[in-house]
Amino acid sequence: MFFAKLSVVPGVPLFIAVIAALSLSACATKVVDPTANWSPNKIYAEAKDEAQAGSYDKAIPLFEKLQGRAAGTPLAQQAELEKAYAQYKSRDNAQAAATLDRFIRLHPASSALDYALYLKGLTNFNDDLGLFSFISRQDLAERDQKAAKESFDSFKELVSRFPDSKYSPDARLRMTYIVNALAQSEVHVARYYYSRGAYVAAINRAQTAITDYRDVPALEEATYIIYKSYDALGMNQLRDDTLRVMEKSYPRSNYLSQGMSPVKDVSKAWYKFW
């Protein structure tokens, strides 16, 4: 901070001397904007260079400046999308999602809308949810589901509105993964109840998975938990009925021969695609 020692000059009121000192202080602390004389294209080139170098903390403010300098132009829209991507790469997913929401709201006819929806799906898909279980060893089904559902909704909107988009095939794979992981979440809870002897609760939770989801691997274990719970409750008729369903639906099931095993890594089968 700039400090000035005030001295009274004969004939000059003290308040004028104070104003002068404050003016000098303001000048001394004023930050010079190095981009002040840059063209929009130069700002964009610099922002791209920073982003490609992984310096997202430097790229983001440059993209923001470009949005202001080139407001109302396609370049400003491009800057907004690239800012969202930089925020996503820097793991500021909440800000990335907010940027994309704004873009989708203000530019509903943009030719890049499919990309915006795809990127929005990614921001929630990779929001520290444990989807990368080959790294974290903790799959999505054991974590908070809210972001996963929001991710699914973004991908679903993408494939519904833009089925031929180049981003749609990958989005469909991720949707399949999310559905299976959400079903597995119900099975995690059902297994927990079963292990604690709360068999009725285990049945109810496993039934929820079967009712809410279709054609996902987690339902095999859900059916087995129901079978074992009925057996533990001594409800033999329902147990035998469930066993027949199990044998018909999963004739090669390892559960019937080996019992319940550790939770499967449901992400591995899907991540090999991207």
Q: How confident is the model at residue 170 (pLDDT cuts 50, 70, 90)?
A: very high
Last residue of a domain, one of 108, 135, 154: 108
Confidence of residue 180 (pLDDT cuts 50, 70, 90): confident
Using a pLDDT cut of 70, give the percent of the chain over it. Answer: 77
Amino acid at 119: L
Same domain, 58 and 194: no
Asked if 102 and 79 count as a contact pair (C-beta separation under 8 A), the reply is no
Inter-CA distances, 232 with 32, 196, 228, 263, Å: 75, 12, 6, 21
Same domain, 122 and 256: yes
Rounded to an integer, the average pLDDT of 181-205 is: 93
Pair (55, 73) in one structural domain: yes
Do 267 and 173 share a structural domain?
A: yes
Q: Tell which wins on pLDDT, 130 or 99.
A: 99
Do 136 and 162 sit in the same domain of this protein? yes
Residue 140 confidence (pLDDT) = 52
Report the amino acid identity of residue 224. Y
Lookup: tokens for 14: 């003290």
pLDDT at 247: 93
Task: Single out the residue in 108, 125, 152 at which a domain terminates.
Answer: 108
Q: Is the pLDDT of residue 173 over 70?
A: yes
Alpha helix stretches (DSSP H) within 137-235: 146-161, 168-195, 199-212, 218-233
Give the end of a domain, one of 93, 108, 123: 108
Dig out the tokens for 2 from the structure.
């700039």
Return the amino acid letter for 148: A
Residue 160 in this model has a pLDDT that exceeds 80? yes
226 confidence band (pLDDT: 50, 70, 90): very high
Residues 233 and 251 in one domain: yes
Asked if residue 249 and residue 135 are part of one domain, the reply reads yes
Q: Mean pLDDT throughout 260-273? A: 45
Q: What local confidence, expressed as pLDDT, does residue 146 receive?
A: 82
Domain range for 177 is: 111-274
Q: Per mean pLDDT, which range of 4-13, 14-23, 211-220 is the poorest?
A: 4-13
How many structural domains does the chain have? 3
Task: Tell me what pLDDT residue 268 has.
Answer: 44
Clarify whether residues 161 and 266 are in a common domain. yes
112-143 burial, b at 16+ Cβ within 10 Å, e below that, comes to bbbbbbbbbbbbbbebebbbbbeeeeebbbbb
Cα-Cα-Cα-Cα dihedral sign, residues 139, 144, 149, 154: negative
Mean pLDDT of the chain: 83
- Range 52-64 average pLDDT: 95
State in Å, rounded, how far the first CA of the chain is from the last one: 53
Domain containing residue 219: CATH number: 1.25.40.10
How far apart CA 257 and CA 255 sit, in angstroms, is: 5
**What local confidence, expressed as pLDDT, does residue 103 receive?**
97
Closest alpha carbon to 63 in 91, 96, 32: 96
Same domain, 158 and 233: yes
Over residues 73-124, the pLDDT tens digits come to 999 999 999 999 999 999 999 999 999 999 999 999 999 999 999 999 999 8
